[in-house]
Structure 1
Amino acid sequence: MKIVTGGIAQETNTFQWEPTSLSDFTKGSSSIARGQEILDLDGTGGIYGGIVAEARRQGVELIPTTYGQAVPGGRVSREAFESLRDEILAGIRAAMPVDGVLLGIHGAMALEHSDDGEGPLITAVRELVGPDVPIVAPLDLHTNLSDEMMGEATAFVGYKEYPHIDMPETGRQAMQILIDTINGNVRPEMAYVRVPLIAPNQSMV
């Protein structure tokens, strides 16, 4: 079984006027991991700590592409998004054919040119791998789900804890669901309803 992985993760504050540039993905605690650097995240406290561990536990061939993670900030610039997206797509293209895709995304990313940052990424991956290859991703619990995200992905798995102490576990669950989908053990179905509600910060604790 061959699964390819990569992603772009950033939490956008649309009230911040200065965009998040490509260089912002390499400053401070932000980072761009490529290839083996993604696999080296095995056992860490983020989603890839669980993704890589579960893939290895189940004997899956996990092919890493590019994973860009930036601290919360303004909308991601077109240059940054397209550069990271194209790296991910190139990695997937080089690995094809693949049995599944696991994307490392946040769920609340916005772009200079789009309020939905994850939807265009998932769509680009879907157009490359075709309609039958499952795409699964873990998400933050305050994700801004879009019709595009729901229409192009196979399954999402959300964090349940705040602070996010369950990120590795969520990564493991996402990998397990992807493997089960590939093996035909499950057939994920997703639905969502937009609730006209803004929750106060205290409700997130």
Structure 2
Amino acid sequence: MTAKRIAIAGFQHETNCYGVTKAGLAEFEMADSWPSMLLGAQVVSETAGMNLPAAGFAAAATAVGFEVVPILWCSAEPSAHVTDHAFETICGMLLDGIRAAGQIDGVYLDLHGAMVTESLADGEGEVLRRVRNLVGPEIPVVASLDLHANISAQMVEHADYLSIFRTYPHLDMAETGARCVPVLQRLLAGETLSKAFQAVPYLIPLHAQYTGSAPFEEIYQLPARFEQQDVLTEIALGFTAADFPDTGPSCVAYAATANKAAAAVEDIVNLFLAQETRLDCSMLSLEEAILTGRQRREKPVVLADVQDNAGAGGTSDTTGLLAALIEGGVTNVLMGLFNDPESAEQAHAAGEGALVNLAIGAKSNLAGHVPVKAEFEVLALGDGTCRYTGEMYGGGIATLGKTAALRLVGHKAEIDLVVTSIRNQCLDRAHFTHIGLNPTSYSVICVKSTAHFRADFEPIAEEVFAVSSPGTFLCDLKKISYTRITRRLPIAAGSAADDVPDTVGYSGATPA
């Protein structure tokens, strides 16, 4: 019996509509948190063993006897909109690759679910539409999506099955890709799955989406329960920096009948509504962060600079938290990662052990942001090749560009920090240890990350706090000037229902 031939491709971007720089073709071609653009056989060979959806799918597909036909895989660090040129070029490569593959029996796509281009609000919906138009209605098309996907009716229409991460931090990326394989087997055997799709009526800020906390510990038990009833359910929590009518949480169900699928999504949305007031949307002010940093504990306290996260399109060069810690005289602090190629270059020119005057951060020309000007000792230098050691990305390699570990001098505050030349979210202890800094030896660890850091830093921390410091990825949703959002803010713990608008549509300052 001839093996079923499955085309596999990936095209990943999480778009922050309030970001500073756009994602052009070069950003998809380069390596950053993830590998550079991969073509043909590289899609499998260069991702094997990594916690990536495409890697999980390829391994599981091979194990059941499918012939994997790799086309391409690429991603760009989250940023503002994907340029039309990049989108059209990559889509063209993807479709040309499928055409050149000859006879195929199915398609798997590794997508994000929150891509917005210069011309398209629903990037993934358009990718799926074009693939469907190419292969026709009879070829199964399955795709994996990020937990932060903003799912549209178009995505659901053109994909036979959408598999979505169930953890944040995303520890199950490979598992999510692999989950497409048994569904694809069922579809290739001639089974038909009815679909149902329903949106949750409120937004959830990303720092409140941590799946190790209430109410998600209960919500994410539902897929396993429904599977016992022969219903496949998938849940997305949405990406709030994408100004798009479908932004927000939603769920999809697949079952033998439309009624079974519809009943499942109704049950899921009802649980979201019942659990709404358990959401923890709190953040420390900068003043509270200083007081917290001064308190000594047996283990480090982690202060997360959640609104300056490269992994959500932040610039990773805002200095609000750094300036506050210096002003507050907080000691024994480790902080990173600052995207500051200029300071990294100056540190490399000065050499290890040198004292150098630097203007740290604020290189992105954001209104109201200024660099921290001070003298620093150059503790260590590196080329930015950083092998992840934590659970989320373990086995992969981050590309940081020229990197420097620096120590503030001449101040009461005691702060070590890491500057890089390529934006990366600080989510793995290796971001510090690869350049000789041991996070466990500090009293305070400050990470530019929203929740992914929890997988590797929470085990060594006494406590973890989100901090409200200015950045281009706002977690305080009231401050975002949405123009296309249709859902309301959540009634979080401690909030009054009267304080929550029916829909979101604020005229406050656009994050810039």
TM-score by length of 2: 0.39
Q: Which residue of 2 aligns with 1:76?
A: 82
Selected match of 2:135 from 119, 129, 138: 129
Instruction: Quote the offset at 1:17 in angstroms.
Output: 4.2
The 1-side partners of 2:206 and 2:109 are apart by 28
| Structure 2 partner of 1:190 | 195
* Structure with more helix by fraction: 1
| Aligned equivalent of 2:94, options 75, 88, 97 | 88
Q: 1:23 to 1:202 in 2, by over 3 A?
A: closer
CA distance in 2, matches of 1:189, 1:164: 28
RMSD: 1.3
Using the alignment, how far apart are the partners of 1:151 and 1:48 within structure 2? 22
Kindly provide the amino acid, as one letter, of the partner of residue 84 in structure 1: I
Q: CA deviation at 1:158?
A: 0.7
- Cα distance per residue 1:15-37 (max 9 Å; x no partner): 11432100011332352111111
Given the superposition, is the C-alpha separation of residues 88 and 201 from structure 1 closer, same or farther in structure 2, using an over 3 Å criterion?
Answer: closer
Query: Aligned AA for 1:181?
Result: L
Tell me which moved more, 79-88 or 26-35.
Answer: 26-35
Partner of 2:367: none
1:159–1:166 CA contact under 8 A, matched in 2: yes
Question: 1:32 is matched by which residue type in structure 2?
Answer: M
Match status 1:10 vs 2:13: yes
* Distance in 1 separating the partners of 2:193 and 2:20: 38
Unaligned runs of 5+ in 1: none
2:33 equivalent in structure 1: 29
Percent identity among equivalent residues? 36
Letter in 2 for 1:188: L
How far did residue 93 of structure 1 move? Answer: 0.5
Distance, in Å, in 2 between the alignment partners of 1:52 and 1:201 is: 29
1:163 aligns to what SS in structure 2? coil
Contact map agreement 2:12 2:110 (CA 8 A) in 1:
yes
Question: How far apart, in 2, do the equivalents of 1:73 and 1:187 lie?
Answer: 38
The count of aligned residue pairs is: 204
Partners of 2:20 and 2:122 in 1: CA distance: 17
Aligned to 1:145: 151
Secondary structure of the structure 1 residue equivalent to 2:68: strand
TM-superposed deviation, 1:142 = 1.9
Note the C-alpha offset of 1:12: 0.6
Alignment check: 8 A CA contact 1:47 1:138 kept: yes
Map of 2:386 onto structure 1: none
Once the two structures are superposed, residues 104-148 of structure 1 have per-residue CA deviations (whole angstroms, 9 ceiling, x without a partner) of: 101111111011110111111111100111110111112111121
- Offset at 1:161? 0.6
Q: Where does residue 206 of structure 2 map in the other structure? A: 201
The answer to whether the 8 A contact 1:42-1:51 is kept is no
How far off is 1:202 after superposition?
4.1
Distance 2:60 2:97 in 1: 21
In structure 1, C-alpha distance between the alignment counterparts of 2:143 and 2:174, rounded to whole Å = 13
Higher RCO (CA 8 Å, separation ≥ 6 residues): 1
What TM-score do the two structures reach when normalised by structure 1?
0.94
Corresponding residue number in structure 2 for 1:101? 107
Unaligned runs of 5+ in 2: 211-512
Q: Give 1:91 deviation, angstroms.
A: 0.9
* Partner SS for 2:179: helix
- Contact 2:146–2:165 (8 Å) recurs in 1: yes
Mean alpha-carbon deviation: is it higher for 36-45 or for 125-134? 36-45
Contact 1:155–1:189 under 8 Å retained in 2: no
Deviations 1:4-61 (A, max 9, x none): 0112111110111432100011332352111111111222111122111111101111
State the AA in 2 paired with 1:57.
Answer: A
